[in-house]
């Protein structure tokens, strides 16, 4: 007869499950962060409202339009993406929403949303010469294709 003492396996399996959930949570957070950063990189800035209104959330989209972060920037439409004066402050507001998002349960639904009045026109190329192909759809496609 063969007997095997399996005392303690319950605890080992529980620890393994916790480790796997933590690893999946890290990966989900990494993917959401990658998409969010690509969106911010592609988003044109004038007053900063559009960029500051990008929100990361869990379970339900956070439909908030931030409002202007700074004054209109003369010539912003001709500036290279990333060089606009209101960009840093606008990105900080958007990143704060991501930093406040709880990724500990990776089996929840995570959202990146923008309720700014400019969101739809910019996403579909009607409002910005600096983002003629949109912003969010391209970021998602790049991450899904494993470009980085």
Summarize pLDDT for 89-102 with one digit per residue, the tens.
999 999 999 999 99
Q: Are 95 and 44 in contact (CB under 8 A)?
A: no
Percentage of the residues of the chain whose pLDDT score is greater than 90: 75
How sure is the predictor about 76, in pLDDT bands with cuts at 50, 70 and 90? Answer: confident
CA 86 distance to own-chain centroid = 19
Q: At what angle do helices 9-42 and 87-99 cross, to 10 degrees?
A: 160
For the chain, the structural domain boundaries read 9-145
What percent of the chain stands above pLDDT 70? 98
End-to-end CA distance of the chain, in Å? 56
- Average model confidence (pLDDT) across the chain: 92
* Assigned token pair, 61: 């989209």
**CA gap 78, 101 in Å, rounded:** 34
Is 3 in a helix, a strand, or coil?
A: coil
CA distance 148 to 80: 22
What pTM was estimated for this model as a whole?
Answer: 0.89
pLDDT(147) > 70: no
101: which 2 tokens? 């998002």
The angle that helices 9-42 and 136-145 make with each other, rounded to 10 degrees, is 130
pLDDT tens-place string over residues 17-67: 999 999 999 999 999 999 999 999 999 999 999 999 999 999 999 998 999
Give 108-123 pLDDT, tens digit per residue. 999 999 999 999 999 9
Residue 134 has pLDDT above 80, yes or no: yes
């Amino acid at each position: 007869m063969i007997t095997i003492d399996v005392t303690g396996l319950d605890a080992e399996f529980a620890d393994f499950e916790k480790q796997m959930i933590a690893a999946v949570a890290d990966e989900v957070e990494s993917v959401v962060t990658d998409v969010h950063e690509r969106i911010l990189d592609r988003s044109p800035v004038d007053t900063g409202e559009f960029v500051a209104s990008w929100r990361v959330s869990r379970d339900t989209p956070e439909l908030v339009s931030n409002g202007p972060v700074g004054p209109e920037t003369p010539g912003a439409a001709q500036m290279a993406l990333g060089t606009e004066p209101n960009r840093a402050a606008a990105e900080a507001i958007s990143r704060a929403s991501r930093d406040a998002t709880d990724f500990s349960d990776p089996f929840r639904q995570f959202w990146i949303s923008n309720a700014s009045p400019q969101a739809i026109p910019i996403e579909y190329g009607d409002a910005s010469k600096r983002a003629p192909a949109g912003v969010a759809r391209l970021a998602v496609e790049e991450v899904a294709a494993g470009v980085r």
